[in-house]
């Protein structure tokens, strides 16, 4: 054999031996070291994933973090019971469970409020365990009596297991909470989770509200699974019993403690529902610190069944709307701050102003009145004359100083690894004027001063405006979440209250006190007289904005205020949207109902 050939064979042998040694080292590394390490992008080790590849499972608990109100009462996450249907290998020409005693099938079907055919049809779907859903897209929960009887039956292949449901079944006005949805491509929607449970819908991520803004904190470290071992072809191995796989970290899932008072939230939702309000919002803030105690948006939505094409899931409490006369608070503040109106000065309202098509809501006018009286009567003529003495920049600066035309909701930077954390998802900034409108346009300025033209204010900003006045002109940042707790109750993260200062500075305490006094006059002598017999002595400002909806004239009705006037506890903003121009002022009536309810609950 030629020497050159021998050399080639020798080199090849050395190469193959080296390759074999490398493979052996790699295999040993995987078997001894890496098998107990968490796989990149997953929450489980290689050993656990290798076992899960041979199992089919159903999710008992997604492991997602939960929400509570400020007293610790659960807002999400209720432990309920459901029936898990376990598939079996085909043992005859009939699919399982047709081989079971017919009486057992009938009794189980009767307990589940269905018929035998429907039960068998759902039972034989797929080769993985699954909860009985009654044809819906979520597990059907059981009553205590159903649980007890099904356990007594001991039907082979049908067992009762606990499951964690997230939301209630009823429609609600808690759009600030949000909802979950399947989101392909979302970073946390890891394919590993889908492989484990064979049910992609079980691993959803936040699509709106706090569910979305707090997703990194809520996503958890993995689900609790009920699994069955399967063969290579996917058939369940009947001799191996089901097992539950759960994360071992006792700190998770986390719990977000909100500022909401769930009793107030639900009570105000009932007020909104009974009133027949179709569109709008109610915001209740703690008068001392601007924490949100209740926030209701209408129409209501069902977080279990959200249609992205419809807008009921959107939170109207943080969406801008034309404010009408509640914006006169800003104009009055600017007049006081910039001394645009002298003390004791009077104006004359004859009903028509004669410029820019502006008129007063009172047909024949209010006669002679000063700025305080014009505020109480919400006289457009008085505020048009006042606006002429102010510049657009002064109106804008005052609005900014009062927390309008900019987001005011709580915001934290570099929180738990997140660059920015917002409490209010998709919060509108609102505005005073469009950039295209000249500051020298007197017509635009006058319309702006009475809350028309291009002005937009959110109900959250409107309620916070009242808190700002109650706190001597200091703008607070409303919160929805006060802390994050571990599952064992220890605090992981506090979200302390903070202010929302303006580059324009703040209004003086004297101006704030003056405006609060004028709001009392609205109730005693002005447009809010219907509130004189409320349980609490209250104060506030009404507003009616003219808008267009689908080419028709409609009104937005507002009332914002506080109570009780001596020791204020709550600031409230009510917005009723898109009502007929001839409608009574529903917002004032609802403000009284809300305040009466708050008085009863205190």
Predicted local distance difference test score (pLDDT) of residue 35: 52
- Return the residue matching tokens 């998802």: 425
Type and span of the H or E element at 563: strand 552-563
Q: Answer yes or no: is pLDDT of 134 > 70.
A: yes
Predicted local distance difference test score (pLDDT) of residue 437: 95
Among candidates 181, 209, 428, which has minimal Cα distance to 308? 181
**Between residues 560 and 205, the one the model is more confident about:** 560
Residue-wise pLDDT tens digits, 273-282: 999 999 999 9
Q: Answer yes or no: is pLDDT of 148 > 60.
A: yes
Residue-wise pLDDT tens digits, 38-92: 555 445 555 455 445 556 788 899 999 999 999 999 999 999 999 999 875 554 4
Predicted local distance difference test score (pLDDT) of residue 94: 46
**Between residues 319 and 235, the one the model is more confident about:** 319
Q: Answer yes or no: is pLDDT of 234 > 70.
A: no
Q: Is the pTM of this model over 0.85?
A: yes
Work out whether strand 280-286 and strand 78-85 pair parallel, antiparallel, or are unpaired. unpaired
Query: Do the Cβ atoms of 429 and 406 come closer than 8 Å?
Result: yes
Predicted local distance difference test score (pLDDT) of residue 400: 98
Predicted local distance difference test score (pLDDT) of residue 186: 47
Confidence category of residue 307, pLDDT binned at 50, 70, 90:
confident
Among candidates 322, 319, 325, which has minimal Cα distance to 578? 322
Percent of the chain scoring above 70 in pLDDT:
87
Most confident of 118-132, 218-232, 557-571: 557-571
Helix axes 459-470, 509-525, angle to 10 degrees: 110
Mean pLDDT of 243-266: 93
Q: Answer yes or no: is pLDDT of 34 > 80.
A: no
Q: Answer yes or no: is pLDDT of 319 > 90.
A: yes
Least confident span in 94-108, 376-390, 488-502: 94-108
Predicted local distance difference test score (pLDDT) of residue 379: 95
Q: Apex CA 582: angle with CA 578 and CA 588, to 5°?
A: 70
Q: Apex CA 407: angle with CA 504 and CA 380, to 5°?
A: 70
Predicted local distance difference test score (pLDDT) of residue 36: 57
Query: Do the Cβ atoms of 346 and 368 come closer than 8 Å?
Result: yes
Percent of the chain scoring above 90 in pLDDT:
66
Among candidates 228, 208, 205, 225, which has minimal Cα distance to 217? 205
Side-by-side strand order, sheet with 55-61: 55-61, 224-229, 243-245
Q: What is the mean pLDDT of the chain?
A: 88
Predicted local distance difference test score (pLDDT) of residue 29: 63
Side-by-side strand order, sheet with 158-165: 130-131, 78-85, 158-165
The 10 Å Cβ neighbour count of residue 479 is 23
Least confident span in 93-107, 218-232, 553-567: 93-107
DSSP letter at 578?
E
Predicted local distance difference test score (pLDDT) of residue 203: 65
CB-side neighbour CA atoms (13 Å) of 409: 25
The tokens for 140 are 């059907």
Predicted local distance difference test score (pLDDT) of residue 194: 37
Question: Residue-wise over 99-117: b if at least 16 C-beta within 10 A, else e?
Answer: ebeeeebebbbebbebebe
Predicted local distance difference test score (pLDDT) of residue 77: 93
Residue-wise pLDDT tens digits, 453-504: 999 999 999 999 999 999 999 999 999 999 999 999 999 999 999 999 999 9
Q: Which distant-in-sequence residues (6+ apart) come within 8 Å of 206 by Cβ?
A: 178, 179, 180, 212, 213, 214, 215, 218
Least confident span in 97-111, 358-372, 448-462: 97-111
- Return the residue matching tokens 């009408």: 324
Mean pLDDT of 538-554: 95
Predicted local distance difference test score (pLDDT) of residue 417: 87
Q: Where are the alpha helices (DSSP H) in 1-129?
A: 3-32, 46-52, 102-111, 116-123
Most confident of 3-17, 128-142, 209-223: 209-223
Work out whether strand 292-298 and strand 539-549 pair parallel, antiparallel, or are unpaired. unpaired
């Amino acid at each position: 054999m030629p020497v050159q050939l021998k050399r080639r064979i020798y080199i090849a042998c050395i190469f193959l031996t080296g390759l074999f040694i490398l493979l052996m080292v790699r295999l040993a590394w995987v078997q001894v070291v890496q098998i107990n390490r968490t796989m990149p992008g997953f929450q489980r080790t290689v050993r656990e994933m290798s076992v899960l590849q041979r199992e089919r499972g159903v999710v008992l608990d997604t492991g997602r973090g939960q929400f509570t109100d400020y007293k610790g009462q659960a807002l999400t996450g209720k432990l309920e019971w459901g029936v898990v249907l376990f598939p079996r290998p085909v043992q005859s020409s009939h699919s399982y469970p047709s081989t079971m005693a017919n009486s057992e099938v009938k009794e189980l079907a009767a307990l589940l409020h269905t018929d035998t055919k429907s039960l068998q049809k759902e039972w034989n779907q797929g080769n993985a365990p699954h909860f009985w859903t009654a044809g819906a897209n979520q597990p059907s929960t059981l009553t205590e009596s159903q649980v007890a009887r099904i356990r007594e039956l001991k039907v082979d292949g049908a067992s009762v297991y606990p499951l964690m449901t997230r939301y209630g079944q009823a429609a609600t006005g808690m759009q600030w909470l949000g909802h979950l949805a399947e989101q392909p491509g979302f970073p946390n929607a890891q394919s590993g989770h889908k492989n484990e449970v064979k049910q992609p819908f079980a691993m959803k991520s936040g699509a709106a509200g706090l569910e979305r803004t707090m997703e990194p904190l809520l996503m958890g470290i993995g689900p609790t699974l009920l699994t069955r071992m399967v063969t290579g072809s996917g058939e369940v191995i009947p001799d191996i019993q089901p097992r539950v796989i759960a994360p071992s970290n006792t700190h998770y899932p986390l719990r977000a403690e909100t500022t909401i008072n769930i009793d107030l939230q639900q009570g105000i939702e009932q007020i909104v529902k009974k009133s027949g309000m179709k569109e709008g919002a109610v915001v209740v803030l703690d008068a001392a610190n601007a924490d949100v105690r209740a926030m209701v948006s209408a129409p209501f939505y069902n977080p279990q069944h959200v249609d992205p094409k419809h807008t009921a899931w959107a939170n109207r409490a943080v969406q801008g709307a034309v404010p009408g006369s509640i914006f006169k608070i800003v104009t009055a503040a600017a007049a006081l701050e910039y001394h645009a109106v002298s003390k004791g000065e009077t104006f004359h309202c004859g009903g028509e102003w004669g410029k820019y098509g502006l008129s007063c809501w009172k047909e024949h006018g209010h006669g002679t009145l000063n700025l305080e009286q014009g505020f109480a009567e919400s006289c457009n003529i008085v505020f048009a004359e006042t606006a002429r003495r102010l510049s657009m920049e002064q109106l804008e600066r005052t609005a900014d100083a009062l927390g309008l035309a900019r987001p005011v909701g709580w915001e934290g930077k570099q929180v738990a690894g997140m660059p920015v954390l917002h409490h209010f998802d998709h919060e509108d900034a609102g505005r005073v004027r469009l950039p295209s409108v000249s500051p020298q346009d007197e017509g635009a300025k006058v319309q702006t001063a009475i809350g028309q033209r291009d002005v937009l204010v959110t109900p959250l900003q409107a309620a916070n405006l009242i808190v700002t006045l109650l706190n001597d002109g200091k703008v607070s940042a409303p919160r929805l979440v006060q802390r994050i707790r571990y599952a064992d109750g220890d605090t992981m993260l506090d979200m302390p209250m903070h202010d929302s200062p303006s580059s324009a500075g703040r209004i003086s305490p004297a101006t704030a006190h003056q405006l609060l006094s004028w709001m009392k006059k609205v109730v005693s002598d002005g447009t809010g007289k219907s509130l004189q017999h409320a349980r609490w002595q209250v104060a506030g400002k009404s507003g009616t904005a003219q808008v267009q909806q689908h080419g028709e004239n409609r009104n937005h009705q507002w009332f914002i205020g506080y109570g009780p006037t001596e020791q204020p506890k709550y600031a409230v903003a009510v917005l009723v949207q898109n009502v007929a121009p001839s409608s009574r002022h529903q917002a004032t009536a609802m403000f009284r109902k809300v305040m009466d309810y708050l008085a009863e609950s205190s």
